[in-house]
């Protein structure tokens, strides 16, 4: 029997299990790399742990230093999660300049073609907590890039759509609460989300992007991302340019189907993270092209606000300039040290790139700085993941660790006469800045353009409708009616298609409220019902279209008769 077991084990080892991917193999990879134990076990103070101290039976717990050490640490090792993008992974890589852009900016990381800069990426999903599903519908996904340049860290915080949900930073808290779980039920409540969009119609444009196929990519590697703000660049001559950056996936954007998303959400909620990790381990390195849209006209000649983050620049008002590419080629060694403690701040810019002038950017700077201090302490920029390439020389002192050398014995006030760090003068930096006028106006034509032109195929429109219907099934009629009124102002066909589809779905669907309502054949029935609903919607819309045509023809006959 023992020989048979050994023989079976040998066969299993000879034929690697095809279902064990690189992510699942991580512990075996570590064992293979280290060959033997990496050292003697010790307490966090360095005292070697005696084998008998690893078991507490028949001993005094309070005199066991190993027990005290591990218990004290494990109950204190968690830090506050991020309010948004709590769930994320990360990877290391590099940025390489592929095109000369010194005409536009003096930033040193762009100073010559071929130059490489080390990059850290944090990739994640918002509106969910850790443990949530990567394929959650109606969620903001994003990639934050930290460039370690010789002029300091440059951070771009990007999301997967080119527009934002609101302009006024005071709405940050309201949007977070509306799209997060209900405080009583602890479940996502789309009644609140749809109500928020209805009462803040500037959010509709971004909401449609998120609910469409553009909001659910086929993994992070197929995801385009955008910093959303308009940055002011300046070159060595002091000339300024207004640009919008974008990072375009070299694999090309590809959406995940709703059926695939639902299946993965149950079977592998970490699939996007798994995909990114495995691709890097297999040397299929994900890459993004960095480009910028440069405004063509002088600001005073524009008939729109180019700094409005809820809108897209009209065609013909800009030209696109390629800059370089980012390649992620190494997985992190420790998620907490390198990703959880990474602090990305939109205010982290370098000479040659000025902060965007819009109010939302200013609000985000305050929010991110405050959040990092809350989560990581006032010395978060001294954590290894956030340390600049060259040692930062400041007058900041003390605080919660890490403090590193705390600037040793250098003067701790500025200015001083004793050789402390001195400020520089950037002769090319513009001396005046634009202050955009922020208005309360709502521009629904952007939503109309998105539905009719960005979603140019009927299947894309149907995907949007299907998703809107799914999230509306448990919403009561008064909220739906308000939302339909808003959609009617955007596009009558969109509103009609949504309302008809929802009415049919509510008549034919049976959503379980308790476990007693579950049916074994629910998945197959759901797929068939969706198809039947789509056909019914098409039939009803065609009938309505025919009726409208007949009415129009009768009107023409009446007008002709009157003439």
Q: What is the structure's pLDDT at 520?
A: 64
Token readout for 84 is: 């948004």
Q: Which residues touch 435 (CB under 8 Å, ≥6 apart)? A: 357
**How much of the chain, in percent, has pLDDT values that exceed 70?**
94
Give the number of other Cβ atoms within 10 Å of residue 306's Cβ: 19
Query: Which region among 155-169, 267-281, 529-543 has the lowest average model confidence (pLDDT)?
Result: 529-543
In this structure, are residues 239 and 111 in contact, taking their beta carbons and an 8 Å threshold?
no
Q: Which residues touch 109 (CB under 8 Å, ≥6 apart)? A: 95, 97, 115, 117, 147, 149, 150, 151, 154, 350
Residue 12 reports pLDDT greater than 80 = no
Q: List the Cα angle 436/438/439 in 5-degree steps.
A: 140
What radius of gyration, in Å, describes the C-alpha atoms of the chain?
28
Tell me the whole-structure pTM to 2 decimals: 0.89
Q: What is the structure's pLDDT at 62?
A: 86
Token readout for 505 is: 């779905």
Please give the residue that has the higher pLDDT: either 91 or 523. Answer: 91
Task: Work out the burial of residue 301: count CB atoms within 10 Å of its CB; fewer than 13 is exposed, 13-18 middle, 19 or more buried.
Answer: exposed
Mean local confidence (pLDDT), 122-145: 94
Query: In the predicted model, what is the mean pLDDT of the chain?
Result: 92
In this prediction, residue 557 has a pLDDT band, given cuts at 50, 70 and 90, of low
Residue 1 reports pLDDT greater than 80 = no
- Using CA atoms, how far residue 3 sits from 8, 10, 13, 341, in Å, is 9, 10, 15, 50
- pLDDT, tens digit, for every residue of 470-503? 999 999 999 999 999 999 999 999 999 999 999 9
CA dist., res. 221 & res. 160, Å (int): 11
Q: Spell out the SS3 assignment of 481-546.
A: HHHHHHHHHHCHHHHHHHHHHHHHHHHHCCCCCCHHHCCCCHHHHHHHHHHHHHHHHHHHHHHHHH
Q: What is the structure's pLDDT at 14?
A: 45
- pLDDT, tens digit, for every residue of 218-274? 999 999 999 999 999 999 999 999 999 999 999 999 999 999 999 999 999 999 999
H-type alpha helices, 309-431? 335, 359-376
Token readout for 479 is: 């909220």
Place of tokens 């068939």: 528
Largest CA distance in the chain: 108
In this structure, are residues 327 and 117 in contact, taking their beta carbons and an 8 Å threshold?
no
Please give the residue that has the higher pLDDT: either 304 or 434. Answer: 304
Residues 111-125 as b or e (16 or more Cβ within 10 Å = b): beeeeebebbbbbbb
Please give the residue that has the higher pLDDT: either 546 or 524. Answer: 546
- pLDDT, tens digit, for every residue of 312-326? 999 999 999 999 999
In this prediction, residue 551 has a pLDDT band, given cuts at 50, 70 and 90, of confident
In this prediction, residue 4 has a pLDDT band, given cuts at 50, 70 and 90, of low
- Looking from the CA of 40 toward its CB, the CA atoms found within 13 Å total 8
Q: What is the structure's pLDDT at 362?
A: 96
Q: Which residues touch 347 (CB under 8 Å, ≥6 apart)? A: 355, 365, 368, 369
CA dist., res. 34 & res. 213, Å (int): 44
Query: Which region among 55-59, 312-316, 334-338 has the lowest average model confidence (pLDDT)?
Result: 55-59
Residue 526 reports pLDDT greater than 80 = no
What SS3 class is residue 292? strand
- pLDDT, tens digit, for every residue of 384-406? 999 998 878 999 999 999 999 99
- Which domains are assigned to the chain? 87-160+217-386 (2.40.180.10), 448-510+523-562 (no CATH)
- pLDDT, tens digit, for every residue of 405-423? 999 999 999 999 999 999 9
């Amino acid at each position: 029997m023992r020989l048979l077991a050994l023989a079976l084990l040998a066969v299993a080892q000879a034929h690697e299990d095809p279902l064990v991917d690189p992510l699942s193999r991580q512990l075996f990879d570590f064992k293979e790399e280290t060959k033997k134990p990496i050292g003697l076990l010790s307490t966090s103070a360095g005292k070697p742990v005696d084998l008998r101290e690893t078991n507490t039976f028949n001993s005094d717990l309070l005199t066991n230093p190993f027990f005290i050490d591990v218990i004290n640490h494990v109950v204190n090792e968690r830090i506050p999660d991020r309010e948004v993008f709590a769930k994320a992974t990360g990877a290391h890589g590099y940025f390489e300049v592929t095109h000369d852009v010194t005409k536009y900016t003096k930033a040193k990381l762009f100073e010559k073609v071929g130059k490489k800069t080390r990059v850290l990426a944090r990739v994640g999903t918002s509106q969910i907590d850790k443990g949530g599903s990567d394929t959650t519908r109606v969620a903001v996904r994003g990639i934050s890039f930290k460039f370690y340049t010789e002029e300091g860290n440059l951070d771009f915080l990007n999301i997967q759509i080119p527009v934002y949900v609101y302009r006024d930073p005071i709405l940050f808290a309201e949007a977070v609460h509306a799209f997060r779980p209900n405080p009583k039920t602890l479940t996502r409540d789309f009644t609140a989300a749809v109500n928020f969009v209805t009462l803040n119609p500037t959010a509709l444009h971004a909401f449609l992007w998120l609910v469409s196929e553009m909001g659910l990519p086929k993994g992070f590697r197929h995801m385009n991302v955008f910093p959303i703000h308009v940055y002011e660049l300046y070159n060595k001559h002091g000339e300024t340019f207004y640009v919008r950056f974008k990072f375009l996936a070299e694999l090309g954007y590809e959406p995940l189907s709703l059926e695939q998303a639902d299946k993965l959400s149950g079977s592998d909620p970490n699939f996007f993270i798994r995909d990114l990790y495995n691709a890097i381990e297999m040397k299929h390195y994900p890459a993004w092209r960095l480009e910028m849209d440069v405004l063509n006209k002088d600001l005073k000649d524009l008939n729109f606000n180019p700094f409005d983050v809820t809108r897209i620049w009209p065609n013909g008002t800009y030209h696109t300039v390629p800059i370089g590419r980012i390649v992620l080629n190494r997985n992190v060694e420790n998620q907490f040290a390198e990703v959880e403690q990474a602090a990305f701040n939109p205010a982290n810019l370098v000479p040659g790139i000025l902060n965007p002038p819009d109010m939302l950017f200013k609000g985000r700077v305050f929010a991110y700085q405050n959040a990092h201090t809350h989560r990581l302490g006032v010395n978060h920029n001294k954590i290894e993941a956030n340390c600049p390439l060259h040692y930062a020389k400041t007058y900041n002192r003390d605080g919660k660790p890490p403090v590193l050398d705390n600037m040793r014995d250098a003067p701790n006030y500025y200015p001083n006469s004793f050789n402390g760090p001195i400020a520089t003068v950037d002769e090319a930096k513009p001396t005046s800045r634009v202050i955009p006028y922020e208005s309360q106006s709502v521009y629904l034509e952007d939503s109309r353009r998105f539905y009719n032109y960005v979603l140019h195929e009927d299947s894309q429109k149907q995907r949007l409708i299907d998703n809107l219907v799914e999230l509306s099934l448990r919403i009561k009629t008064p909220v739906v009616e308000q939302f339909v009124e808003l959609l009617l102002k955007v596009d009558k066909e969109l509103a009609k298609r949504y309302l008809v589809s929802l009415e049919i779905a509510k008549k034919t669907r049976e959503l379980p409220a308790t476990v007693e309502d579950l049916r074994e054949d629910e998945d197959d029935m759901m797929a068939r019902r969706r198809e039947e609903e789509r056909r019914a919607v098409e039939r009803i819309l065609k009938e309505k279209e025919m009726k409208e045509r007949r009415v129009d023809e009768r009107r023409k006959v009446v007008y002709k008769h009157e003439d």
